Structure 1
Amino acid sequence: MFKGKKKWMLAAALSVVMSLSLVIPAFAAFWNLTGDTVVHDPTIIKVGTTYHVFSTGQGIQHLTSSNGTSWSRTNQVFASPLSWWKTYVPNQATNDLWAPDIEYYNGKYWLYYSISSFGSNTSAIGLASATNINGPWTDNGLVIRTTSSNNYNAIDPHLFIDPSGNPWLSFGSFWSGLKLTRLDKNTMKPTGSLTSIASRSGGIEAPTIAYRQGYYYLFASIDSCCQGVNSTYKMVVGRSTSITGPYVDQNGVSMMNGGGTIIDAGNVRWKGPGHQDVYNNNIIIRHAYDADDNGTPKLLINDLNWPNGWPSY
């Protein structure tokens, strides 16, 4: 029922998503990856000639690649848990961090991440920053939290910088859906109210926002992850001329009313693709469960194309 990203996946993988609209065909280049590609909820950035992927796992997992195809694991971000995490999320598994998002803004790398426990919205989003992508990382503390009295969930953060240079944070998982808030440019923490940007009775999470040629695009994941080859995760998208919405799919259905054009529902080998990240509008990454490897979640990367103003790969 609720998001199950985590303990099952970490134990299996790191010990080594109503009615929807049109499905867009896949045709862009699929990157053939090698090396250590075991990830869940990946986010990507390129620094110089090196690609960096951060993902769910102990202390936030960190993979690097000099060419984008051959990957290796390096030191995790947090070697040990911070004391304040369990103040807000008492049931968090020790140093178990979910769904990070990495972006560069105003001379620093900003790494947002989730603190939670399975099936609960007693959750928090934390923030770390660094001037070097490899650290050391500064703890910037709590960004936003939720408790069982809230009707949304403070996980799955995504930092987006709008064309005017203003930072925004989208987040959310299940309950009443995806939220958006403006951030203070100095603290990189919320200022002002929350705006609802997507909702779906069957669950929606993991927002990613991109901007291209006058449109804001909201990518999200729907249905269920974290069940190996039985995962039903799917990736959807809608667009709007305003960052606060309304976001509609290719059939004009609002994402506040369960809309969303499916862009990836998986295939025979790669089951339950989701928790996508878009980089420079020309790369899209996500995890999917490898049916050829007992459902292990792995990193997938594609070139991203925009035929007729909609993303496709």
Structure 2
Amino acid sequence: MTRDVGEARREPPATLNDRLEGDIAPTHDPVIIREGDTYHVFSTGLGDGPDRIIAHRVSRDLIHWRKAPPPLAALPDWAARAIPGASNACAPDISHVGGRYRLYYSVSTFGSNRSAIGLLTSPTLDPSRADYAWRDEGMVVMSRPADDFNAIDPNFILDRRGRQWLALGSFWSGLKLIALEPATGKPRQAAQVPISIARRPVPIGAPDPVEAPFVIDHGGWYWLIASYDYCCKGNASTYYTVIGRSREVTGSYLGRDGSAMMQGGGTVLLRADLPEKDRFRGPGHVGHLRDADGTDYLVHHAYDRENKGAPTLRIVRLRWGSDGWPIAD
């Protein structure tokens, strides 16, 4: 039977992810921001050379990506002293606050909560400008083995009252929120007790697989995105993302079904490709961009089975359904 031409044209349109090309792997824990006509993605430092500490990529169209100068050539002295054995910076977060860009980043060793979050600032992200220069602002917060949280995976939040916060956390007792001093971007009180916003209760002695908080302000709600289960295992990674919402930035965050993220609940937002496709595994560690035209995008990484499980940059559009809940496509 001859296939009708009109039928042939009803193929699903290519997604943004179908068109990504250039320097998109290895990319782990990406975040995204736009300055002028250029999109910037910062991510965990991987491999050798100038991208070993924090990687930096740029694009004019969200499709074609190339390497850009990294913000650090080596770990600052304070970080190397605070976290012995650390070889790179991971899970950065980028924001524009008070005329300067803030790049929060994590320093740790795998599986330990002896960790620290540092801060770099610059008036621009464009290396061609005369005022381009990253300034080391030092340590923001540190966790030690006696603490019940892990000071990695930072995310800066400006709430609707003008208050500044830093969300953070990986495993241990879950995701936390710390109030910041606006002028410095550091904790308002050095000894403040972090506010818990998400956790996954598990049997004593078992790991608590929740990390990578990112909070979005939309429609009168604060939306908390988190990554559940296990990253960093290549094609065997079980990472996926969930989302919940709250009227207050401090919580409590609930999924569409009312399940509490403080009890391991929430609504699934991103999962691995369906079994019949089965290519990109373990999607997680989400960053958000609200573009100049109001379009919402999420960046994340996933492990490419067709490229030896390499962590790869992925970008999806975030649409808001008639029920007010987001759909990633």
* TM-score where L is the length of structure 1: 0.88
Describe how 1:107-256 pairs up with structure 2 within 5 A: 107-134=99-126, 135-192=132-189, 193=192, 194-200=194-200, 201=202, 202-256=208-262
Change in CA separation of 1:55 and 1:288 when aligned onto 2, cut-off 3 Å? same
Give the AA of the match of 1:64.
V
- Cross-structure match for 1:51: 39
Q: Distance in 2 between the 1:187 and 1:69 partners? A: 35
- 2: CA distance, partners of 1:298 / 1:133: 23
**TM-superposition CA deviations, 1:34-53 (whole Å, max 9, x none):** 10001100000011110000
Q: Distance in 1 between matches of 2:188 and 2:298?
A: 29
1:277 paired with 2:277, answer: no
Q: 1:176 & 1:148 partners in 2: Cα distance? A: 12
> SS at the partner of 1:312?
strand
2:267 counterpart letter in structure 1: T
Q: Does 1:311 find its partner at 2:326?
A: yes
> Aligned partners of 1:30, 1:228: CA distance in 2, in Å?
23
> Displacement of 1:28 after TM fit?
10
Percentage identity across aligned positions?
43
Equivalenced residues, count: 285
Deviation at 1:91, TM superposition (A): 2.1
Q: In the alignment, which residue of structure 2 is the partner of 1:289?
A: 303
Which amino acid in 2 is paired with 1:266? A
Amino acid in the other structure paired with 1:173: S
Q: Secondary structure at the match of 1:84?
A: helix
2:94 maps to 1:106: no
Partner Cα separation in structure 2 for residue 63 and residue 53 of structure 1: 5
Do structure 1's residue 76 and structure 2's residue 100 form an aligned pair? Answer: no
Q: Which has the higher contact order (CA 8 A, sep 6+)?
A: 1
Deviation for aligned residue 1:166: 2.1
**Structure 1 residues 309 and 28 mapped into 2: Cα distance closer, same or farther (>3 Å)?**
farther
Letter in 2 for 1:30: L
Asked if 1 retains the 8 angstrom alpha-carbon contact of 2:75 and 2:89, the reply is: no
Equivalent-residue separation in structure 1 for 2:75 and 2:244 (angstroms): 37
- State the Cα deviation string for residues 127-186 of structure 1 (Å, max 9, x = none): 000001144100000000001101110000000111233221000000000000111110
Q: Which runs of 5+ in 2 are unaligned?
A: 1-12, 46-51, 127-131, 203-207
Deviation at 1:251, TM superposition (A): 1.1
What is the distance in 1 between the residues matched to 2:68 and 2:326? Answer: 32
Amino acid at match of 1:116: S
Cα distance in structure 2, aligned partners of 1:188 and 1:299:
28
Structural RMSD (CA): 1.4
Structure 1: gaps spanning 5 or more residues: 1-26
Q: CA deviation at 1:89?
A: 0.6
For 2:326, the aligned partner's letter is P
More moved, 27-36 vs 197-206: 27-36
> Secondary structure at 2:262's aligned position in 1?
helix
Distance (whole Å) between structure 2 residues aligned to residue 122 and residue 260 of structure 1: 28
TM-score by length of 2: 0.84
Report if aligned partners of 2:153, 2:170 keep a CA contact under 8 Å in 1: yes
For residues 182 and 154 of structure 1, what CA distance do their matches in structure 2 show?
14
Does structure 2 conserve the Cα–Cα contact (< 8 Å) formed by 1:28 and 1:302? no
Identify the range of structure 1 (122-131 vs 202-211) with the bigger mean alpha-carbon deviation.
202-211
